[in-house]
Chain A
Amino acid sequence: MNVRLRVIAGLTLAASLTACAQWQVQPPAAWERGLLAKPEMRIEGDPLQERFDQHIHMSKENASGGSGIGGGGCGCN
């Protein structure tokens, strides 16, 4: 990636971190975790949807991985 894009990416990251800092950033106590337990708040999504989507993306794009579903390649080189 060229230098100009790197600078833009870095500034965007810094700006979003600053924005984040204005929101409440304080780890929740046990009884404050009710919202975090909602299914849509889980990091992993629907298991079969993830498998389908990842397989499709892997067959059409070169990048793969980063989502933790282990193993099992496909013949799409």
Chain B
Amino acid sequence: MAAIENGSVTSSSRRADRSLLAAALLLPGVLPLAQQAHAEAAPEQAVVAAKVLDYQDRQPGLERTHVQAPAVYLLLPIRGEWSLEASLVQDSVSGASPRYHTSISSASRQTERRSAGDVKLTHYAARQSWYAGAAVSDEHDFHSRALSGGASFSSEDNNRTLNLGAAFTEDRIGATGDPTLDARRRTMQVMGGVTQNVSPRDIVQGSLTLSRGTGFYDDPYKFPDHRPDQRNQLVAAARWNHHVESHGATLRSGYRYYADSFGIRAHTVDAEWVQPVGSRWRITPGVRYYTQQAARFYVDPVYDAVLGEPFPPGWTPGTISSPDQRLSAFGALSASLKLDVTLDAAWAMDLKLERYEQRADWRLGGKGSPGLAPFSARWVQLGVSYRF
């Protein structure tokens, strides 16, 4: 009697021709689209999605910030060879404005509105695709415009894709309390990456992004804050998605290294486990750890003996320095939980909760910047999507 074994057909252990199978694979439509020869294919379905964000953060001694932001997204395949993607977000921010050196209480409170939108048009051809995109972001004191473009090229077996991209951004900066401020900065960015199907269960991607920006980088709401007028950045990132057969789940993980000419070095590690439950539900717990080294010109809350607060020791007009907590050395940890449900062939909903905490002590190696209070935030995202 033959032993019972799973009878799925595999090709692994044979040194065989399989020329006839190769010929059959060229016939049109014999494999579902997802497995077909052309990996660079326009999406099969259109998607309309909406999501709302409710964000709150707090720091001891300061008022909380509260943001509510609805957003919409559209993906439209056009005539099999094109696709259009567009999104629109509207943030409503209320609460304390960003402050410096938490030992000094902050100034005004404001209610901010930010609107942002982006569009992207992609053209698909055999084993390659090309895209062009534009993005805008507007707040009362900050306006940003960006243009981007790029292409992807797949290898003959469609297991490897080369991704290239470039973007150009122009920002205009103002300040509520200073009507004379009208500064600009421009950033040029190039990106290259490779996505590789490593096995029937693994996809990896590596990428490198380089940016060069010139212009105004000071934060007009902090004093004294004067930064270099050029910033070069390098980001090296890797992602790995692994399907875990025993649980029907997927482990998604990534690492990102960041370095810039302000002297900041940062590492980000994240992982999430997508676990299907039944045929309609998925639950995804996730974790993320971030650590950064302080900028060269970041100053701790230690003040000049003669000038006193807020001037750092030895400060003169024109000194490059900043007390901005975002440039300090710290670590941050966050945990998230997402639930999504497929209601039917067209509708799906998702809910994600995330808790984030930032502390100087949590910096990798332990030497975080002194004098900074822990910062914590929590946000909830509720979304719905419709495919047609």
Which A residues are within 8 Å of any B CB, using their own CB? 1-2, 5, 23-38, 40-43, 45-49, 51-53, 55-57, 60-77
Of the candidates A30, A47, A67, A74, which one forms a contact with B49 in the assembled complex, judged by CB atoms under 8 Å apart? A47
In the complex, are the beta carbons of B203 and A36 less than 8 A apart? yes
Of the candidates B72, B163, B243, B350, which one forms a contact with A38 in the assembled complex, judged by CB atoms under 8 Å apart? B243
Contact with A along B192-234 (1 / 0, CB 8 A): 0101111111110101010100000111000000000000010
In the complex, are the beta carbons of B146 and A46 less than 8 A apart? no
B128 at the interface (CB under 8 A from A): no
B364 at the interface (CB under 8 A from A): yes
Q: List 24 A-B contacts (CB under 8 A).
A: A1-B265, A27-B197, A27-B199, A28-B200, A34-B200, A36-B243, A47-B85, A47-B87, A48-B72, A52-B53, A52-B381, A60-B57, A60-B375, A60-B377, A62-B258, A62-B327, A64-B235, A66-B235, A66-B237, A70-B189, A72-B116, A75-B137, A75-B139, A75-B142
In the complex, are the beta carbons of A75 and B173 less than 8 A apart? yes
In the complex, are the beta carbons of B358 and A37 less than 8 A apart? no
With contact pairs A33-B35, A61-B292 given, residues A72 and B136 touching in the complex (Cβ less than 8 Å): yes
In the complex, are the beta carbons of B379 and A56 less than 8 A apart? yes
With contact pairs A34-B34, A74-B137, A75-B141 given, residues A63 and B256 touching in the complex (Cβ less than 8 Å): yes
In the complex, are the beta carbons of A51 and B89 less than 8 A apart? yes
Of the candidates B197, B205, B268, B326, which one forms a contact with A33 in the assembled complex, judged by CB atoms under 8 Å apart? B197
With contact pairs A47-B85, A61-B290, A63-B266 given, residues A73 and B201 touching in the complex (Cβ less than 8 Å): no
B157 at the interface (CB under 8 A from A): yes
Residues of chain B with a CB closer than 8 A to A29's CB: 11, 157
Residue with the highest number of chain B CB atoms closer than 10 Å, among A48, A55, A57: A48
With contact pairs A66-B256, A70-B165, A73-B144 given, residues A25 and B198 touching in the complex (Cβ less than 8 Å): yes
Residues of chain A with a CB closer than 8 A to B202's CB: 23, 25
Of the candidates A25, A56, A72, A75, which one forms a contact with B146 in the assembled complex, judged by CB atoms under 8 Å apart? A72
Query: Which 4 A/B pairs are nearest by Cβ-Cβ distance?
Result: A71-B146, A75-B142, A72-B135, A37-B34
The CA of A37 and the CA of B44, in the complex, are separated in Å by 13
With contact pairs A33-B200, A68-B163 given, residues A52 and B258 touching in the complex (Cβ less than 8 Å): no
Identify the closest chain B residue to A29 (Cβ): B11
Residues of chain A with a CB closer than 8 A to B339's CB: none
Q: What is the distance, in angstroms, from B331's C-beta to the closest C-beta of chain A? A: 10
Q: What is the distance, in angstroms, from B347's C-beta to the closest C-beta of chain A? A: 15
The CA of A29 and the CA of B35, in the complex, are separated in Å by 9
Residues of chain B with a CB closer than 8 A to A5's CB: 364-365
In the complex, are the beta carbons of B274 and A40 less than 8 A apart? yes
Q: What is the distance, in angstroms, from A19's C-beta to the closest C-beta of chain B? A: 12
The CA of A71 and the CA of B114, in the complex, are separated in Å by 16
In the complex, are the beta carbons of B133 and A74 less than 8 A apart? no
In the complex, are the beta carbons of A24 and B199 less than 8 A apart? yes
In the complex, are the beta carbons of B25 and A63 less than 8 A apart? no
With contact pairs A37-B35, A63-B256 given, residues A73 and B383 touching in the complex (Cβ less than 8 Å): no
Residues of chain B with a CB closer than 8 A to A40's CB: 241, 250, 252, 274, 282
B92 at the interface (CB under 8 A from A): no
In the complex, are the beta carbons of B37 and A35 less than 8 A apart? no
B171 at the interface (CB under 8 A from A): yes
Residues of chain A with a CB closer than 8 A to B191's CB: 68
With contact pairs A68-B191, A68-B207 given, residues A73 and B31 touching in the complex (Cβ less than 8 Å): no
